[in-house]
Amino acid sequence: MAKFSNRKAGTIVKIIRKIPVKQVITEKSKQELSEQFNHNRQQLEQECQQLQFEQRKLQNKKGVSRQEVANRFQKEITKRRDKIKWIEFQVEQLSILPVGSEITEGEVESLVEVEEGYNWDSLVDDKAIIVKDGTVIQIK
């Protein structure tokens, strides 16, 4: 961290800062991501089938509004179908992504000490953790 040399002693404040975790795409990571996407898609499709089954079961009960049941279940099924479409888009994008590309996989929080005289720009500039095949290869 850059500091001014003529700073006076002051209070140290700790702040939490989000740092992106980026993954370098390799053939291995492409395969793993593809399998993960397919697993998630299958899980969502099973949930849709289960919701349709539960919907039919509830609609056959007496004293239950068929329309209310249909609306409630359709809302949940639509949510899952939208997630399936998003996964299909991600699979398509993954297939055209060249090996060596970086994708943002998530974020982690980092504790940073700030004190009077610190160079704020150096605290907030782009930092990232770069991962390749499960191993951290760089911390910028």
- The answer as to whether 105 is a domain residue is yes
- pLDDT, one tens digit per residue, over 55-110 is 988 888 888 888 888 999 999 999 999 999 999 999 999 999 999 999 998 999 98
- The answer as to whether 4 is a domain residue is no
**Which residue's structure tokens are 């907030």?**
124
CB neighbour class for 117 (10 Å; exposed up to 12, middle 13-18, buried from 19)? middle
Q: Give the chain's domain count.
A: 1
- The answer as to whether 71 is a domain residue is yes
So what's the pLDDT on residue 5? 43
pTM: 0.70
- pLDDT, one tens digit per residue, over 23-61 is 999 999 999 999 999 999 999 999 999 999 999 888 888
Q: Are strands 102-115 and 12-24 parallel, antiparallel or unpaired?
A: antiparallel
Domain span at 82: 13-139
